[in-house]
Amino acid sequence: MRLKALFIIAIAGLFIACNSNQKQMESKTGTNPFFTEYDTPFGVPPFDKIKPEDYLPAFKEGIKQQDDEIDAIVNNPEPATFDNTIVAMEYTGELLRKVSNVFFNLTEANTNKQLQEIEKEVAPLLAKHNDNINMNGKLFARVKTVNDKKDDLNLSVEQKKLLEETYKGFVRGGVGLTGKDAEEFRKINGELSSLTVKFGENLLAETNAFKLVIDNKDDLAGLPDFVVEMGAAEAKADGMDGKWVFTLDKSSMIPFLQYSAKRDLREKIFKAYINRGNNNNEHDNKAVASKIAALRVKRANLLGFKTHADYVLDENMAKTPENVYNLMNQVWDAALPVAKEEAKTLQSMIDAGGGDFKLQPWDWWYYTEKLRKEKYALDDEQLKPYFELNNVRNGMFEVAHRLYGLNFKEIKDIPRPHPDAKAFEVLNDDGSLQAILYMDFFPRSSKRGGAWMDTYRKQYKTRDGKNVIPVVTMVMNFSKPTGTKPSLLTFEEVSTMFHEFGHSLHGMLSNCTYRSLSGTSVARDFVEMPSQFMENFASDPQVLKMYAKNYETGEPIPDELIEKMNATSHFNQGFITVEYTSAAYLDMDWHTLTEPVEKDVIEFENASMKKIGLIPQIVVRYRTPYFAHIFSGGYSAGYYSYLWAEVLDADAFEAFKENGIFDKKTADSFRTNILEKGGTEDPMVLYERFRGRKPSIEPMLKRKGLLK
């Protein structure tokens, strides 16, 4: 998942309705859906009624309302208390949050030129507004007054965490800066907000700009029927009937790389993918990335941190760059020799087949697929008929039912963020409503690549104690249905769906008082733990029997195929681990710079990969110009988080294997200690409460087949 870093970070408080301003605004622009309470089932956004011209007035009015609410707190004549300052702040900004939740979700999943122009205008406004709150000395004085006497306030664990996070938010938000330093800090935040938007827009444009168009059947050599049909469907959608089109969406590109016998075409699509943002055109991201990295160093230095990584990790479980590098080094030292052996094996296949060339990155998928078929008599073509999208989804829902007593009921008559999206009521066994879940499965030009979970509304409790249910969205880019077949997933896509569902459960099962601490509002290197934990169920034989059914016959996946899948669980793990970990190193190298000097991006990247000894047959998973996780998402100095969380998830799943994967007591403990708690306590405390001890790295290395 890539959690979206919204521009509004911090602050919430007492909601003050501005009726006169609202009526004025409505009279100027017509009825703006954001200015009234949503009159929709379950209070979901009225997507069908929201127009692009509604956003900017709502953002501006939302900023004004929150400014007024903050002023009321600052000017409260009563002495500062936890309730009239910390809690009051928590409930400010309702309108701003309301419009932000819709707008930024849609700019990721269903954007257009109009929304992109609005985003460019809104980004610096929000950065300035956020700075105005975080650097408000009078407001901080009240917060500090409460914080100074926290030991005498008899606060609950969650209240203590809210106070701690609020106080730290001001310190990290620049409240201690004055004069030129304060001005510089504000300027940097404004620039960064605009540059990160630009990076994402450039990447989307570059991804959409390339299409591999095939008009000669001979160029389809090696491609199985499902890949050919997928290419034909893409061509038809683009108005090119009779041709075949393959794109840089991974659901299109990876099958082409796996099966195409046309080495020149594999090279063409692969190079197009790895050179996104590196084409010296109007969408080039090299200068943007370099500028972002330099500004982050400068901001960290202003706040007293040596590097941006030190600034970020101070909030994470890892705490220091040294701890992150130590983890990565352990994994790298185990994985790199395995990857080198894999490369030798693939080169032997090329040589044995009379290929007079050295293994290149665009050959890896092709020969790996051949080797898997040769060694294990298994390939994606055999498995895909058992992974029909709806069957996988329903099996995933059944897992959630057996673990947590959840039931999923599709809702037809409800506003949806896109016509392709599905909506579900999530009900507990007693019939009570737990959440609303949207699922959006297929790629389109208006959607960025990858897969992620987010919320249109987080779970929290109102001032009078009423529980507000979350509205969660899962967004993917899976293989589309064709004219003759439904959407049939690769097992990688199956794992991705379970992964994002894990994030969604984290959001849907939240049981917190304060919105800023609820759901997935946890340390970056803990947030991936619930999602990666769910991936374990996707490949478990007991679960496979529940959902992996042949889409034509309804027959469950045979034991023989499950045994083959288990036999291949360590297959290609050197490549997979090295490709990922190299990107984690690249992220950390960019963000452990100590001076705000802009770099030659490609030169820096090459030096980073040379330092760790990345072999030339493997390209780092995300090169700098398209590394959206760290340059337009929320994972700067945090991409290692998947690896850190993998240690936790492998160790956690051991508890389920020890007691039975659907053991009620174990599932209840995981729910109450991990999924319900959000960021209300230190994540290691929560983990140890569930597991009874600290996590061990051995289960993760063992699962990957990397344990010596």
List the catalytic residues.
500
Q: At 214, phi and psi to the nearest 5?
A: -115, 125
SS3 content of the chain, % helix, strand, coil (to 5): 60, 5, 35
Within 13 Å, how many C-alpha atoms sit on residue 3's CB side? 29
21 CB burial (10 A radius; 0-12, 13-18, 19+): middle
Residues with Cβ within 8 Å of 324's Cβ and at least 6 positions away in sequence, in order, are 309, 313, 318, 584, 588, 640, 644
Say if residues 683 and 315 touch (Cβ distance below 8 Å): no
Say if residues 480 and 442 touch (Cβ distance below 8 Å): yes
Say if residues 532 and 642 touch (Cβ distance below 8 Å): yes
- Give residue for tokens 């700009």: 209
Integer Cα distance of 579 and 173 in angstroms: 34
Q: Identify which of 246, 223, 260 has the alpha carbon closest to the alpha carbon of residue 480.
A: 246
DSSP lists the bridge partners of residue 556 as: 549
Tokens of 576: 């997979």
Integer Cα distance of 609 and 615 in angstroms: 9
Segments in 464-523 forming alpha helices (H) = 491-508
Integer Cα distance of 478 and 490 in angstroms: 9
Q: Centre a 10 Å sphere on the Cβ of residue 43 and count the other Cβ atoms it contains.
A: 15
Residue 280: left if φ>0, alpha if ψ -120 to 50, beta else—which one? left
Q: At 408, phi and psi to the nearest 5?
A: -120, 125
Q: How far from the centroid of its chain's Cα atoms is residue 111's Cα?
A: 17
| Length of the chain measured in residues | 708
Say if residues 451 and 633 touch (Cβ distance below 8 Å): no
Q: What is the DSSP string of 170-211?
A: HHHTTTT--HHHHHHHHHHHHHHHHHHHHHHHHHHHHHHH--
Q: What is the DSSP string of 59-73?
A: HHHHHHHHHHHHHHH
Integer Cα distance of 262 and 244 in angstroms: 14
**At how many degrees (to 10) do helices 641-659 and 524-538 cross?**
50
Q: Centre a 10 Å sphere on the Cβ of residue 352 and count the other Cβ atoms it contains.
A: 8
Q: How far from the centroid of its chain's Cα atoms is residue 544's Cα?
A: 25
